[in-house]
Amino acid sequence: MRIEHSVISSVTMRALTRFLISLMAILALASCHKLKESPEFTASSHLPQYDYQSDFDEYVAETKAWLLENRAFKTKNRQRELEANLPFELTPTHPNNKSVLLVHGLGDSPFSFTDVASHLASKGYFVRAILLPGHGSKVADLNLATLDSWKANLQHHIELLKATSEEVWLGGFSTGANLVTAAAYNDQDIAGLMLFSPAFEARSRLLLFSKYAKYFITWADRDEESNYLRYNSLPMHAAAMFYETVLEVREKMNDARFARPVFILASATDSIIDTQYLRDRFSQSFTHPDSRLIWQGEDIGNRDPRILAYSMNLPELRIANGSHMGVLFAPDNPEYGVNGKLRICDNGQSEENQSLCESGAETWRTAYGGDGSDNATSRLTFNPYFAEHMEVLDRVMTSVSDSASVVDAD
């Protein structure tokens, strides 16, 4: 496997590793003192079994029973929390005998795909969304998960769908996009991919050291767990697993081109992924003529004609730029939409501006880190072009090609 950082000498690597581990240890200790111990940060005794059930209903029922016993609930409405974090399926009114399997991102939940899944079902697709091991209960349970368990869970549900459907598509968000892309490279029976903020390369190069740091540091980030739809904190072990998915999917893309249809939706100002790498990789690796990359950002001119740009300078909606998670949700989503109940004010801004946001003051909606201004901001949590982008997805999914599924790289 080609390693991009192989030019760094072993001596330099060891020195950098020691320095970064020391730095992260100091930061981790400082953050730990900010929070009282809570059930969120104590792992369960075990994770539920996930890859033996003979049908999806059994999988959901057993997952629900386990979550009832092990989840650290954040609100009094336990039923609402369970429904948002459970695997789910949607049966279309007018089925087209085609299916889609959806995989959420690191720290997220199946709720991530509530709007996308509803749209797909309205078009005749049978849709399922799974829950990756370590998710849906409490953030410390990510320390019990492994990359192999994520991959086995995904593969089991791919096989269940293939047994009942003539055509199976895979969809994923962020880390989930990495997982489904690698799986599709391994399985030429997969019809195509829909990828939301795929994390083929991360902006932070510190992730390179996560596989070493996890032996010394438990938490890469530790925050108050207040969002019932996702985790706010991140164990170093989970960060290392994420980086493993990056390396694996990049190896697949370096070795071969992918000639089945692919739909990608990403924000140019995503604070997590390297979007320039994504643009380049789309043009080089995803060769189907009907594949599309939707670029939430300004048109940069000379580019692949399959890339469609949408400006995110939308002052009428107080949107300054696009975000990692904003690609997923419709403007009328009850939790994350224009008038959604959940507002994310931890957005890489000053304490004064964060306090303004938390008090309900008017903010600009941005990616994490803001827009370079001094304005109070909140995270952009919805896609203002959701309906248009779903129409593009529909066209990609109905495309037909006689080309081979995977073509060896030249």
Whether 155 has a pLDDT exceeding 60, the answer reads yes
**Residue % of the chain over a pLDDT of 90:** 81
pLDDT, mean of residues 236-260: 96
Burial (CB count <10 Å: 0-12, 13-18, 19+), residue 221: middle
DSSP class per residue in 141-163? GGGG--HHHHHHHHHHHHHHHHT
Q: Rounded to 5 degrees, what angle do the CA atoms 232, 272, 336 make? A: 55
Residue 9's contacts (CB-CB under 8 Å, 6 or more residues apart) are none
Structural contact between residues 133 and 105, judged by C-beta atoms closer than 8 angstroms: no
Q: What is the pLDDT confidence band of residue 24, given thresholds at 50, 70 and 90?
A: low
Whether 36 has a pLDDT exceeding 80, the answer reads no
Count of Cβ atoms closer than 10 Å to residue 326 Cβ: 25
DSSP class of residue 286 equals B
Structural contact between residues 141 and 39, judged by C-beta atoms closer than 8 angstroms: no
pLDDT, mean of residues 143-157: 97
Residue with tokens 């990756």: 132
pLDDT, mean of residues 237-266: 96
Residue with tokens 């809570």: 38
Q: What is the pLDDT confidence band of residue 100, given thresholds at 50, 70 and 90?
A: very high
Q: What is the pLDDT of residue 12?
A: 41
Which domains are present in the chain? 10-317+385-408 (3.40.50.1820)
DSSP class per residue in 77-118? -HHHHHHHHS-EEE--SS--SEEEEEE--TT--GGGGHHHHH
pTM: predicted TM-score of the whole model, two decimal places:
0.89
Comparing CA positions, the residue from 107, 105, 173 lying closest to residue 139 is 107
Q: What is the pLDDT of residues 188-222, one digit of tens each?
A: 999 999 999 999 999 887 888 888 889 899 999 99
Q: What is the pLDDT of residues 346-386, one digit of tens each?
A: 999 999 999 999 999 999 999 999 999 999 999 999 999 99
